[in-house]
Amino acid sequence: MPITGIYGPDDFTDRPQGHPSTSSRAAPARTGAALPMPSLQWTDEVERATAPLYERVKHVIPSIEWPLMAPTIHAINKLKRERNAVIVAHNYQAPEIFHGVADIGGDSLQLAVEATKVKADIIVQCGVHFMAETSKLLNPDKTVLIPDTRAGCSLAASITGADVRLLRQKFPGVPVVAYVNTSAEVKAEVDICCTSSNAVQVVESLNAPTVIFLPDRYLATYVASKTDVKIIAWKGACEVHERFTGDELRAFRDADPSVQIIAHPECPPDVLAEADFTGSTAHMINWVRAKRPKRLVMITECSMADNVRAELPDVEMLRPCNLCPHMKRITLSNILESLLTLGEEVTIDPALAERARRSVERMMNLKN
């Protein structure tokens, strides 16, 4: 059914002014922790050590570019062992990061689940800030580093904890579900979190006739189309997925009627209406592994198409390429810098973290 109502900052005259706050901040790098910059020369040793990694990315990284990347990849992989660090990367990270240095890769849900199993002392989060916060919430005693604190998200920036309190005043007793693409401050105000992998299941788990679902208006619309629960939404949107249009997809199909199109549920409804499959980034990847289409259009951030093509070179990708500028703030250079200096460390006020953790853990404790 259509969403029941949609609200945004302009609907609350008593909304506190100011920029949406984040509940965590980067701590200064630890004094005395910095290690010297290693040599970044392309040597025989680097070539030998990185050859198996190049095998994994040879279909998406030209051989002429590898000598420019491999010394940094080699240095990062050595340093993470010395530091007892683990590198966690979202599916939207560039292939040299996703296939070259990451120990754990996946969608938001997989990264949250894997974060609870980490044995290393340090987690380097190659993704955006809310992902680093989620890792910190689930690993309060570990050091969580983000290579660039400016790696934000238009969804997380669209709503504050104060907005959630105003929604609760307007709809007393209605449970609130927050997409993980929110700050810890917002997670602390809601009943439960969800990701795009489990959003419908989470909404239905509350056994309520109406649920407030925030902040992504399009994911809310998608969830509403899959459940009888009435959905009240927030006016946030992902700046990457909201740019796709149904016309664009129809043009791909007109050019080749046999093409398969798969889309992320952060896309507008006219886009999803044209897609053969809709799912989270992990569900999309699993769909491609299972179906092996000849020609495919992936309607999501475009590094993911590179990461999938590296694994499945037989699938021809037609790529309407929308990059997430926040995800792309993470680079090999700043990952190396992060491991050398142990910056920037993500810290969250412990009292707020405890409330936010409850919302994430409640999601993770749901039975599949």
Beta bridge partners of 214: 178
* Site track 72-101 with ligand 13P (rule: CB under 6 A), x = hit: -------------------x----------
- Under the binding rule (CB under 6 A), the answer on residue 280 touching ligand 13P is yes
Taking CB within 5 to 8 Å according to partner kind, which of ligand SF4, ligand 13P, none is near residue 107?
Answer: ligand 13P
Please state the closest distance from residue 326 (CB atom) to ligand SF4, in A. Answer: 5
CA-wise closest residue to 122 among 108, 139, 100, 110: 139
Q: Is 182 in the site for ligand 13P (CB under 6 A)?
A: no
Q: How far apart are CA 113 and CA 106, in angstroms?
A: 10
Burial code (b: 16+ CB inside 10 Å, e: under 16) for 64-78 equals eebeebbbbbbbbbe
Q: Of the ranges 138-146, 195-203, 220-228, 248-256, which one interacts with ligand 13P (CB under 6 A)?
A: 195-203
281 scored as a contact of ligand 13P (CB under 6 A): yes
Stretch that binds ligand 13P, among 11-19, 42-50, 167-175, 191-199 (CB under 6 A): 191-199
Which of the stretches 32-40, 70-78, 103-111, 220-228 binds ligand 13P when contact is defined by CB under 6 A?
103-111
Q: Could you tell me if 259 and 318 are in contact, meaning their C-beta atoms sit under 8 angstroms apart?
A: yes
Q: Which one of the spans 35-43, 51-59, 61-69, 194-202 is the region binding ligand 13P (CB under 6 A)?
A: 194-202
- Residue 239 or 276: the one with the smaller Cβ distance to ligand SF4 is 239
Residue 280 binds: one of ligand SF4, ligand 13P, none (C-beta under 5 to 8 A by kind)? ligand 13P
280 vs 303, beta carbon nearer ligand 13P: 280
The 10 Å Cβ neighbour count of residue 118 is 19
Binding residues for iminosuccinate: 90, 108, 179-181, 196, 264-266, 281
Judge contact between 147 and 122, C-beta under 8 A. no
**Among 136, 187, 217, 326, which residue interacts with ligand SF4 (rule: CB under 6 A)?**
326
CA atoms in the 13 A half-sphere facing the CB of 133: 31
- Binding-site members are 90, 108, 153, 179-181, 196, 238, 264-266, 281, 324
Q: Which stretch binds ligand 13P (CB under 6 A): 105-113, 183-191, 315-323, 331-339?
A: 105-113
Quick one: 293 exposed, middle or buried, by C-beta within 10 A (0-12, 13-18, 19+)? buried
**158, interface contact from ligand SF4, ligand 13P, none, CB < 5-8 Å by kind:** none
**# residues near ligand SF4 by CB under 6 A:** 12
Sheet with 277-278, strands from edge to edge, namely: 277-278, 260-263, 295-299, 316-318
Closest to ligand SF4 by CB, 7 vs 244, is 244
CA atoms of 229 and 231, how far apart (whole Å): 6
Region at 130 (left for phi over 0; alpha for psi -120 to 50; beta for the rest): alpha
Residues 176-195 close enough to bind ligand SF4 by CB under 6 A: 181
- Name the binding residues for [4Fe-4S] cluster: 153, 238, 324
Per-residue binding letters, 56-95, with ligand SF4 (x by CB under 6 A):
----------------------------------------
Single-letter amino acid, residue 322: N
Backbone angles phi, psi at 92, to 5 degrees: -90, 5
Here's the x/- map for ligand SF4, 220-259, by CB under 6 A: it reads as: ------------------xxx-------------------
The SS3 of residue 330 is coil
Q: In what order do the strands lie in the sheet with 176-179?
A: 5-7, 230-234, 210-214, 176-179, 192-194
The C-alpha angle with vertex 78 and arms to 75 and 79, in degrees rounded to 5, equals: 85
* Beta-ladder partners of 346: 26
What is the C-alpha end-to-end distance of the chain, expressed in Å? 24
Which parts of 116-155 interact with ligand SF4 (CB under 6 A)?
128, 153-155
**Could you list the residues that contact ligand 13P (CB under 6 A)?**
91, 107-109, 181, 195-197, 238, 264, 266, 280-281
Q: Kindly list the residues in this chain that would bind ligand SF4 in the complex (CB under 6 A).
A: 128, 153-155, 181, 238-240, 301, 324, 326-327
